[in-house]
Amino acid sequence: MSERQTVILPGATLGVLGGGQLGRMFVHAAQAMGYFTAVLDEDATSPAGLVSHHHIRTGYEDPQGLAELAKVCAAVTTEFENVPAAALDTLARSLPVSPAGSAVAIAQDRAREKAHFVQCGVPVAPHAVIETAAQLAAVSADTGAAPDRPKQASAPSGGSEPHAVGSVGASLLPGILKTARMGYDGKGQVRVTTPAELAAAWDQLGRVPCVLEKMLPLAHECSVIVARGRDGTVVHLPVQRNLHRDGILAVTEVYEGNLPAAQLHQALAAAKSVADGLNYVGVLCVEFFVLQDGTLAVNEIAPRPHNSGHYSQNACDVSQFELQVRCMTGLPLVQPRLHSPAIMLNLLGDLWFQGGGDATTPPWDQVLALPGCHLHLYGKVEAKPGRKMGHLNITGATPEAVRATALKAAAILGIAPF
């Protein structure tokens, strides 16, 4: 067995690029398992940096910072997809890095991401890539009828180059124009219904490369979190049913029967295909649209633990963050078990401003008086509207009991019912 394949046992130091809440929860999981930790993030008050053994306060592309991280760590991961893939490639020259820079680079570009889905044979929404004025004109001139069902296509003959799936042009309207890069939580997206609105939206987004995606008749959304090891072993968390508000995840519900069996099996198979196609190592979230006719379409991937998997901290015997540790160290991957129905409520900074005026701490004491409520706050020094400040996991004996408690907690906090 080569040194790169050797299991990294507790006592070693594990590193993470990024100091936000996902990095903080990774650090806590690694420390609970006996590892030392290092965080590279230039923010002196980053949530992960504040709780780590080492905090390297440099930018992600700083050569000295990367060299210091490589020197102190036995393996490195990332906490969010917008870390430069080149930084991961640099680190990979001297130590194990998971996920690989090549996988992160695909997740950073919606056009390449869509092409990968097509190559894997998983269903995606009809879409077209717009990178030039000529492509915009071609899209605007097309008046064909688009399918309402997601397209499942074979790989394009040109490999993974940007391409169109399904009928293009006005047939994709109404649609959503999304920047190919640097979009998350609903940012970098504009809804369009006419060719004129499409042209104006592309101008609004700075004429950067974009993907126009047909709006489909959605019933709801779901996601799957898989963990894939160096040897190709894949395990998964239960399929999560998700509710988004203003482009940000608001509620995740996980319990037996939360989705029909056929949808569960299709989502799991598609997620595994996407991970295998990337030769992925690490934790990967695959997000899906569930259409009104019951079919699925893959939306996007996140090459890291995901907001929709936070419930696993209290409802599963192995959390997504422990899976992240196991993947990067070569420890055995065991199939997580859901031992309690669960609902996760996302806690945004808006909750601190319910009464108007200055920020006020929400009534956590009232929430924690409810059975099965588990509060996770991220250690951010300032609450801001729209900022992710924490999450609340609710567990219980039955889905009905969990939902009743979650609705009571939401009412106390001023979160809209669901």
- Examine residue 103 and state whether it is found in any structural domain, yes or no: no
Q: Among all chains, which residue has been given the structure tokens 């020197």? A: 71
- Among 97, 127, 160, the domain boundary falls at 97
Say if residues 385 and 406 touch (Cβ distance below 8 Å). no
* Rounded Cα distance, 201 and 208, in Å: 11
- Examine residue 196 and state whether it is found in any structural domain, yes or no: yes
Q: What CATH number is given to the structural domain containing 278?
A: 3.30.470.20
E strand or H helix at 27: helix 21-32
Kindly tell me the sign of the dihedral angle through the C-alpha atoms of 45, 49, 54, 55: negative
Q: Among all chains, which residue has been given the structure tokens 């000295």? A: 64
Same domain, 114 and 37: no
Same domain, 210 and 226: no
Same domain, 246 and 185: no
Beta strands in 306-378 (DSSP E): 342-348, 373-377
The tens-digit pLDDT sequence of the chain (418 residues) is: 344 568 999 999 999 999 999 999 999 999 999 999 999 999 999 999 999 999 999 999 999 999 999 999 999 999 998 899 999 999 999 999 999 999 999 999 999 999 999 999 999 999 999 999 999 988 887 744 444 456 553 333 333 333 344 444 458 999 999 999 976 666 789 999 999 999 999 999 999 999 999 999 999 999 999 999 999 999 999 999 999 999 899 999 999 999 999 999 999 999 999 999 999 999 999 999 999 999 999 999 999 999 999 999 999 999 999 999 999 999 999 999 999 999 999 999 999 999 778 999 999 999 999 999 999 999 999 999 999 999 999 999 999 999 999 999 999 999 999 9
E strand or H helix at 16: strand 13-17
- Examine residue 393 and state whether it is found in any structural domain, yes or no: yes
* Rounded Cα distance, 114 and 257, in Å: 29
pLDDT at position 153 is 39
* Rounded Cα distance, 205 and 178, in Å: 9
Cis preceding-peptide flag for 47 (omega within 30 of 0): no
Same domain, 93 and 114: no
Amino acid present at 294: G
388-392 own/partner pairs: CB under 8 Å, 24+ apart: 388/21, 388/248, 388/307, 388/346, 388/347, 388/348, 388/349, 389/347, 389/348, 389/349, 389/351, 389/352, 390/21, 390/347, 391/307, 391/310, 391/344, 391/345, 391/346, 391/347, 392/344, 392/345, 392/347, 392/367
pLDDT at position 2 is 47
pLDDT at position 191 is 94
Same domain, 57 and 201: no
* Total domains, the chain: 3
Amino acid present at 102: S
* Rounded Cα distance, 79 and 47, in Å: 12
Q: What are phi and psi of 294, to 5 degrees?
A: 90, -5
Determine the 3-state secondary structure of 49 from DSSP. helix
CB atoms within 10 A of CB 120: 20
pLDDT at position 19 is 97
Q: What are phi and psi of 38, to 5 degrees?
A: -140, 135
Same domain, 193 and 251: no
- Examine residue 387 and state whether it is found in any structural domain, yes or no: yes
Q: Residue 346 forms beta bridges with which residues?
A: 391
Same domain, 207 and 262: no
Determine the 3-state secondary structure of 122 from DSSP. coil
- Among 214, 246, 267, the domain boundary falls at 214
Same domain, 391 and 265: yes
Q: What CATH number is given to the structural domain containing 28?
A: 3.40.50.20
- Examine residue 102 and state whether it is found in any structural domain, yes or no: no
Say if residues 270 and 298 touch (Cβ distance below 8 Å). yes
Same domain, 306 and 158: no
Tokens of 156: 């394009």
Q: What CATH number is given to the structural domain containing 172?
A: 3.30.1490.20
Same domain, 17 and 146: no
Same domain, 394 and 283: yes
- Examine residue 326 and state whether it is found in any structural domain, yes or no: yes
Q: Residue 284 forms beta bridges with which residues?
A: 226
* Rounded Cα distance, 195 and 199, in Å: 6
pLDDT at position 53 is 98
Full residue range of the structural domain in which residue 20 is found:
3-97
pLDDT at position 6 is 87
E strand or H helix at 248: strand 248-254
Q: Among all chains, which residue has been given the structure tokens 């299991």? A: 7
- Examine residue 104 and state whether it is found in any structural domain, yes or no: no
- Among 155, 183, 214, the domain boundary falls at 214
- Examine residue 105 and state whether it is found in any structural domain, yes or no: no
Same domain, 197 and 233: no
